Amino acid sequence: MDTTETTGSGPIAVEAVRVGIAPTIYEADPMTFSRIAIAVAVAALGSALLIYWPDAWTTASAQELHAPAPDFTGADRWYNSQPLTLSGLHGKVVLVEFWTRECINCLHVLPHTKALYDKYAKDGLVVVGVHTPEYDEEHDPAALQSAIHRYQITWPVAVDNDYRIWNAYGNSFWPALYLIDQNGRVVYSHIGEGDYDQTEQHVRELLGKAPSDTTASQALE
């Protein structure tokens, strides 16, 4: 079925996906199907933005560059660490990663975050995961703790169930990375998957390291 004229996330888009792509999923679990349909619609909207407004993501992610980074005030609890503050991390390079355990894009990015952490933690890189749940079931602390263990996340994770940290950063997407320099300012941000080598280069620059032909992500290939 041709759905090239279907755009947006309204009833027409949902119906096109339901009839043309996954009727079995819809009949078996309408709620799961609705989430898939919304994800497809959002992806289509993102593609349209990149085609017709190629600087959309850059503009959105660069608005707060060089501004003081918000603190982690409002975290419900912490895993792998005592509560952290940016003042306590002064002089460190900090990579803040917004993620949630059922976000497939987040799970794709996690191995690359781990590679950066494993390679540069000894040089002063601090990674802070901020788990901001998208769905109600993602509030379950036992399930989150299990996911942290399953994905071998050993860096600090702040639980942001009430979106306080998320809102302080003005964040809108999962996953999202914010790189903070030694003076507590956001100097780089990235939305979504990809550009892993670019992210690493920014980390290396802040750590005072020369460019390298060998990247952390190459170990994952």
Token pair in block for residue 196: 């892993």
User: Do 24 and 63 have their domain in common?
Assistant: no
Q: Are residues 30 and 71 in the same domain?
A: no
Looking at the fold, whether 210 and 117 belong to one and the same domain comes out as: yes
Judgement on whether residues 143 and 210 belong to the same structural domain of the protein: yes
DSSP 3-state assignment of 122? Answer: helix
Q: What is the CATH number of the domain that holds 137?
A: 3.40.30.10
**Do 137 and 170 belong together in one domain?**
yes
Q: Is residue 3 part of a domain?
A: no
Beta-carbon count within 10 A of 198 CB: 12
In a domain, 1, yes or no: no
Domain for residue 107, yes or no? yes
Which pLDDT belongs to residue 41?
A: 58
The residue type of 4 is T
Are residue 113 and residue 204 in the same domain, yes or no? yes
Q: Both 49 and 107 in a single domain?
A: no
Residues of the chain with pLDDT under 50: 1-19, 21, 47-63
Distance CA 207, CA 201 (A): 10
Q: For residue 47, what is the enclosing H or E element?
A: helix 30-52
This prediction's pTM: 0.73
* Whether 17 and 117 share a structural domain: no
Q: Which strand ranges, in their side-by-side order, compose the sheet holding 93-99?
A: 77-79, 157-159, 125-131, 93-99, 176-180, 186-191
- One domain, residues 30 and 108: no
- Give the count of domains, the chain: 2
- What is the Cα 123 distance to its own chain's centre? 23
- Domain-embedded: residue 2: no
Tell me the residue range of the domain where 114 lies. Answer: 58-220
The answer to whether residue 190 is domain-embedded is yes
Same domain, 17 and 69: no
pLDDT at 101: 97
Residues 68, 42 share a domain = no
Are 212 and 118 in a shared domain? yes
